[in-house]
Chain A
Amino acid sequence: MKQSRFLGLFAALVYAFLHVPLLLLCAFSFNSSKFTVWEGFSLEWYRQMFADTQLAEAAWNSLVIALASTVLSTIIGTLCAYGLWKRGSKWLSGSLYLSLVTPEIVTGISMLAFFQWVFRYWQVQLGMHTVILAHVAFSIAYVLLVVMARLRTAEPALEEAALDLGANEWQAFKLVTLPMLKPGIAAAALLAFTVSFDDYVITAMVAGVDSETLPMVLYAMARRGANPVVSAISTVIFLGFGALILISDRMQKA
């Protein structure tokens, strides 16, 4: 079908709207001036970024939390999707979808209230583990959504054939369905990683001393006003994720 010229122009404008703000932000992270007037090329803000130990620690925390919660939520969510595909469970799928549409602030507040209540009886501290638990809890539903979409295209007869041929249930799952699910699982893991790496509202509620994440530091810096270091961090995140998606896309195609 022929593209109308109007539609093309409109699409170009929308793409500009989506990308120009971020590209400008990236460009000005290389500006030697603190202000939005171009003075010359400089890596000063990147030097400051790498010199900031609090920032490095927060970035490390964010990575650890995102990796741990991705691995856990991808495994748990995939198993859940498979189990629900075999036979539905109204209350479980209902609760998981409900958790998906619950406003973040409500999830965060309820988890904070929960941990505070737990601490009355059990001496543990807010920290990496509470953040990871919270992230796994809200990521499972995302994984379920993506893997389930893939399972809907699966053919149950294939597993039945495997069972008829003498495979046990575990083998049928592992040898027949799981390989077919791989692209879906990869996509789900990528999604789980980003929602975890990106989260501020829930994390800020359940984080303790040792688990300050990158979004928490970014939020504090952004509230203080213009700061080219924030632009530098943004550039690194933008390029990092751009590359991550390209690579994962290549791997899925290969």
Chain B
Amino acid sequence: MKTRRQALATIAALTSCAKPNKNRLNVFNWSAYVAPETIPNFEKEFGCKVRYSIYESNEEMLARVFSGNSGWDVVFPTHYIVPPMREQNLLAELDKSKLPNLPNLDPAFQHPISDPDLNHSVPYMWNATGILYNKKVNPAPTRWADLWLPHWKGHLTMLDDPAEVFAAALRKLGYSLNSRDEKELRAAQREAVNQKPLLRAYLNTEVRDQAVAGDVLGAQIWSTTAQQAIEANKDLAFVYPAEGFPLNLDCAVILRESPRQDLAHQFVNYLLRPEVSARIADSMRTATANGAARPLLAPETRNNPTLYPPPEVMARAEWFTTVTPEAQRLRDRLWTEIKSA
């Protein structure tokens, strides 16, 4: 009898160390998206603990938070995920009086299409989608259409993200990457299916290590991830496709479920400080949405054509928008068709 009571007491003691910590902020962010000292400095200054975990895709993050009781406080969806998250009641309304650093944002990101008044989301870093390739590939790719050439066979990856794969195929065909037209989407689906025999896999940021190792010679990938790969292996290069390419804006949001709204606001406001944002962009080679941070960047970062493409390249860029539910459903179906082809 006694031993059983002891066993139960032990279990109770063991599980109780998992009690939610009142003074600990739980942050869930994309991999390689903060500088090594970003989190420790915040902990020191605000006298709290931060649980920092990483994910590799919006879906991975959504799957973890959409129960509405996940325990996370701050997450970083890409802008077009913000409206669905808001509609599902996952997001807290931001209290702008607690975000005095908000004006530091670059004017270009003060009114993103997904949340024009910044009621629920604060732009953090942005990136664009292009092609990462190994310089030994000849000829070097310049267009999305080049990703359909047979010489890639087995060494090419596309993003494991329906919006991105459709964007590449739609642009290749000359359609808008936000197309809702059934005929255009079906044509794009056929393109993707035709390309599939060449593909090694559908991978997101995981492709970084494989490109550095030389397993992958070409990849549809986000500019920040590409830059990180290029830093690690000088044989790699990045190009913005001639047909046009999508822009992504990763935003900080505070979850409605969070019991630490004040601390979460402090954290978001801290990330908006020019010197914090510049340090992150410098060490991780990302493109910050923080205008005040731009002058503080190291010249190699600021003038990097991959991270901050020149205006003539940016002229080809297009924002992803949240598509209508009907179009979304069609895209889901076509994506399943691509995946099962």
A-side residues, CB < 8 A to B, are: 35, 54, 61, 64, 67-68, 71-72, 75, 112, 115-116, 119, 123-129, 132, 204-205, 207-212, 220, 223-227
Identify A224's interface contact among B68, B70, B206, CB under 8 A. Answer: B206
B11→A68 contact, CB < 8 A:
yes
Question: With the chains together, A227 CA to B209 CA distance in Å?
Answer: 9
Question: With the chains together, A128 CA to B17 CA distance in Å?
Answer: 9
Number of A-B contacts (CB under 8 A): 81
Identify B15's interface contact among A115, A129, A208, A226, CB under 8 A. Answer: A129
Nearest residue, chain A, Cβ from B14: A64
**Chain B residues with CB below 8 A from A125, complex form:** 20, 69-71
Question: With the chains together, A226 CA to B211 CA distance in Å?
Answer: 11
Identify B71's interface contact among A64, A126, A132, A205, CB under 8 A. Answer: A126
A68→B14 contact, CB < 8 A:
yes
B206→A67 contact, CB < 8 A:
no
Nearest residue, chain B, Cβ from A64: B14
Question: With the chains together, A9 CA to B74 CA distance in Å?
Answer: 58
Q: Contacts A64-B15, A132-B15; is A119 near B210 (CB within 8 Å)?
A: no
- A sample of 13 more A-B contacts (CB under 8 A), given A126-B70, A210-B51, is A115-B69, A116-B66, A116-B68, A129-B18, A207-B64, A209-B26, A210-B18, A210-B20, A210-B71, A211-B18, A212-B53, A220-B54, A223-B206
A115→B67 contact, CB < 8 A:
yes
Nearest residue, chain B, Cβ from A210: B18
**Chain B residues with CB below 8 A from A209, complex form:** 20, 26, 51, 53, 70-72
What is the CB-to-nearest-CB distance from B228 to chain A, in angstroms, rounded to a whole number? 12
What is the CB-to-nearest-CB distance from B328 to chain A, in angstroms, rounded to a whole number? 21
27 contacts between A and B (CB under 8 A): A54-B53, A64-B17, A67-B14, A68-B14, A68-B15, A115-B69, A116-B66, A119-B67, A124-B69, A125-B69, A127-B20, A128-B15, A128-B18, A129-B15, A132-B15, A204-B63, A208-B70, A209-B26, A209-B51, A209-B71, A210-B20, A212-B53, A223-B203, A224-B208, A224-B209, A225-B206, A226-B209
Interface string of B48-79 (1 = CB under 8 A from A): 00010110100000011011111110000000
What is the CB-to-nearest-CB distance from A185 to chain B, in angstroms, rounded to a whole number? 13
What is the CB-to-nearest-CB distance from A122 to chain B, in angstroms, rounded to a whole number? 10
Nearest residue, chain A, Cβ from B67: A116
A119→B71 contact, CB < 8 A:
no
**Chain B residues with CB below 8 A from A115, complex form:** 67, 69
Q: How many residues of B contact A (CB 8 A)?
A: 30
Q: Within 8 Å of chain A (Cβ to Cβ): is B213?
A: yes
Question: With the chains together, A72 CA to B15 CA distance in Å?
Answer: 13
Q: Within 8 Å of chain A (Cβ to Cβ): is B140?
A: no
Q: Contacts A64-B14, A115-B69; is A71 near B209 (CB within 8 Å)?
A: no
**Chain B residues with CB below 8 A from A204, complex form:** 63
Nearest residue, chain B, Cβ from A123: B69
Interface string of B23-41 (1 = CB under 8 A from A): 0001000000000000000
Q: Contacts A54-B53, A128-B15, A129-B18; is A119 near B209 (CB within 8 Å)?
A: no
Question: With the chains together, A224 CA to B7 CA distance in Å?
Answer: 39
- Chain B residues 197-214 with CB under 8 Å of chain A are 203, 205-206, 208-210, 213
**Chain B residues with CB below 8 A from A223, complex form:** 56, 203, 206
Q: Which 8 A-B pairs have the closest CB atoms?
A: A209-B71, A128-B18, A225-B209, A208-B71, A119-B69, A224-B206, A209-B26, A116-B67
Quick one: which of A35, A127, A224 has the most chain B CB within 10 A?
A224
